[in-house]
Amino acid sequence: MTPKLRRVIGLSLVAITLAVLPFVVGAGLSNTWVRVIDFALLYVMLALGLNIVVGMAGLLDLGYIAFYAVGAYVYALLASPHFGLHWPVWVILPLGALLAGVAGVLLGAPTLKLRGDYLAIVTLGFGEIVRIFMNNLNAPVNITNGPQGIAGIDPLSIAGVSLGKSVEVWGLTIPSVHLFYYVFLVLTLLIIVVSMRLENSRIGRAWVAIREDEIAARACGINTRNMKLLAFAMGASFGGVAGGLFAGFQQFVSPESFGLLESVMVLCMVVLGGMGHIPGVVLGAVLLAVLPEALRHIAAPAQQAVFGKILIDPESLRMLLFGLALVLVMLYRPAGLWPSPTRKREFDKAAR
C-alpha cells in the first residue's frame, strides 16, 4: 500500500468517524455526551488560539479568556432581546472575531517589551479587568447587563434554519445538539487548517524565532513588534469565534463564565497537550474538556462503592488533578503529552 493510499484511507476513516460520531455517541451513551463533545470542540478552538500565542510565539498569556468573553458578548448584544437586535450569524461571527482581534492588539501593545513573568501577570490583569468591566457595565448605561448576564440569546441559525430546535431531514430527526456539533466541527477544522498554514508560513517561522531568541530574531530582520501583535490578534480572533459560538449555543452569557480559572484551564490544555504542536493541543483540549464529566460518572460512584461515601467530590478531584498534572508534566514531560519532535528535544536538553 503506497503511503498516499494509506493517507487517503486514514483520512477518510477519520472523516467518517467524525461524521457519525454524534449519532453513535447519542445512541450508545446519551445526548448529554454529545453536548459535552460540543463544549470540547469549543475548547479545542480556544486551545488552538492560545497555542498561537503561547505555543508558537512563546508569549505567556494568562488573560486569554477575555477574548472569548468579547466574542460571546458581541454575539449576545447583537442577537438577543437585550438591545432588540437580531443580526444574522454570518455577520456577527466575523465581527466578533474582528473585535476580539482588535482587543488582542490593544491588550498586547503595552506588553511588547515585557519578559515572561511580567507578561503573564499583566495579561492576567487585563483578563480580570475585562471581566470586571463586563460585570459592572450596567450603570449608568446598561451595556452588558452586569452580573445578571444576557439571556434569551438567539440560537445559531444557518441558512435560515435555527439550530436551537431539532431538524427533520429525510425522515431522520436530528436533535439540536447534533446540529451544533456539525457547525462546531466545521469551524474547528477550519481553525485547524488555518493554524497549520500559519505554522508552515513565514509568519509561523517568525513566531518560532521570536520564541527561541527574540534578540537574534530581531537581528535577522524580523519585525518582532508586528509579529507579536499579529500573534495576539490571531489568537484572540480564534477566541472570539469560539465565544460567539458559545453564546449561540448556550443562549445565555454571564461574566462568571469568563474568570481566571477558565484562562488557566485553556493554558493547561495547551501545556499538557503539547505546546506549539497542533495535534497535541487538540488532544489536550479534548481530554481536559471531557475529564470533568468522566470524573463525575466514575469518581462519585466508585468512591461510593469503595468507601460508602464521597470523600472527595468530583469538582475538587478535578482541580486536584489539574494542579497535580501541571506540576508533574512540567517536571517530567515539560514538552507535553504529545509534543512535536523538535520541542521534545529542546525540553529534554534543558530540563534537569
Partner 1 sequence: MKIQFKGLTVAMIAALSVVACGKKEESQPAAAPAAPAVPEVVVKLGHVAPLTGPQGHLGKDNENGARLAVEELNAKALEIGGAKVKFELLSEDDQADPKQGTVVAQKLVDAKVNGVIGHLNSGTTIPASKLYSDAGIPQISGSATNPKYTDQGFKTAFRVMANDVQQGKVLGEFTTGNLKAKKIAIIDDRTAYGQGLADEFEKAVKASGGEIVAREFTNDKATDFAAILTKIKGKKPEVVFYGGMDAQAGPMAKQLKTLGIKAKFLGGDGMCTPEFIKLAGDAAADSQYCSLPGMPLDKLAGGAAFKETFTKRFGGEIQLYAPYVYDAVMVMADSMKRANSVEPAKYLSEIPKTDYQGVTAKIGFDEKGDLKGGAISLYQVKDAKWAYLETLGGAPAAAPEAAAPAPAAAPAPVAAPAEKK
Partner 2 sequence: MEIFLQQIINGLTLGSIYALVALGYTMVYGILGLINFAHGEVVMVGALVALSVIKALAASALPGPVVVLFGALVAVVVCMLLGGAIERVAYRPLRHAPRLAPLITAIGISILLQQLAMLFWGRNYHAFPPILPASPHSVFGASITDVQILVVVLAGLIMLGLTQLINRTRMGRAMRATAENPAIAQLMGVDINRVIALTFVMGSALAAVAGVMVSANYGIAHYHMGFMLGLKAFTAAVLGGIGNLPGAMLGGLLLGLIEALGAGYIGDLTGGFLGSHYQDVFAFAVLILVLVFRPSGLMGEKVSERA
* Residues that bind partner 1 in the complex, under the rule CB under 8 A: 6-7, 10-11, 13-14, 17, 21, 24-25, 27-32, 35-36, 39, 135-136, 146-149, 151-152, 164-165, 177, 196, 199-200, 250-252, 254, 256-257, 278-279, 293, 296, 310, 313-316
Of 1, 19, 50, 22, the C-alpha closest to 282 is 50
Which amino acid is it at 167? V
Check binding of 133 to partner 2 (CB under 8 A). yes
Q: Which does 152 bind (CB under 5 to 8 A by kind): partner 1, partner 2, none?
A: partner 1
Q: Which does 6 bind (CB under 5 to 8 A by kind): partner 2, partner 1, none?
A: partner 1
Q: Which does 326 bind (CB under 5 to 8 A by kind): partner 2, partner 1, none?
A: partner 2
The strand ranges marked E within 198-285 are 252-253
- Could you give the string, one character per residue 270-309, with x where binding to partner 2 holds by CB under 8 A and - elsewhere? -x---x----------------------------------
Minimum CB distance to partner 1, residue 196 (Å): 7
As a whole number of angstroms, the distance between CA 124 and CA 120 comes to 6
Check binding of 330 to partner 2 (CB under 8 A). yes
The only residue of 81, 320, 342, 345 in contact with partner 2, by rule CB under 8 A: 320
Pairing type for strands 150-151 and 252-253 reads antiparallel
For partner 2, the closer of residues 7 and 115 by Cβ is 115
Provide the 3-class DSSP secondary structure of residue 107.
helix
As a whole number of angstroms, the distance between CA 333 and CA 241 comes to 31
For 58, 112, 318, the CA distances from 223, given in Å and listed in that order, are 16, 12, 42
Check binding of 196 to partner 2 (CB under 8 A). no
Q: What is the DSSP letter of 258?
A: G
Minimum CB distance to partner 1, residue 10 (Å): 3
Minimum CB distance to partner 1, residue 314 (Å): 7
How many CA atoms within 13 Å lie on the side-chain side of 94?
3
For partner 1, the closer of residues 55 and 149 by Cβ is 149
Minimum CB distance to partner 1, residue 76 (Å): 12
Longest dimension (CA), the chain: 69
The only residue of 20, 161, 323, 345 in contact with partner 2, by rule CB under 8 A: 323
Which amino acid is it at 247? A
- Which residues lie closer than 8 Å to 101 by C-beta, 6 or more apart? 233, 234, 236, 237, 240
For partner 2, the closer of residues 98 and 264 by Cβ is 264
Could you tell me the three cell numbers for 128?
Answer: 480580570
For partner 2, the closer of residues 4 and 113 by Cβ is 113
For partner 2, the closer of residues 3 and 140 by Cβ is 140
Could you tell me the three cell numbers for 233?
Answer: 490578534
How many CA atoms within 13 Å lie on the side-chain side of 341?
0
Minimum CB distance to partner 1, residue 138 (Å): 8
Check binding of 325 to partner 2 (CB under 8 A). yes
As a whole number of angstroms, the distance between CA 123 and CA 57 comes to 15
For 80, 90, 146, 248, the CA distances from 86, given in Å and listed in that order, are 6, 12, 20, 12
Contact residues for partner 2, defined by CB under 8 A: 54, 58, 60, 110-111, 113-118, 120-122, 124-126, 128-129, 132-133, 135-136, 139-140, 213, 215, 264, 267, 271, 275, 312, 316, 319-320, 322-327, 330-331, 334, 346-347, 350-352
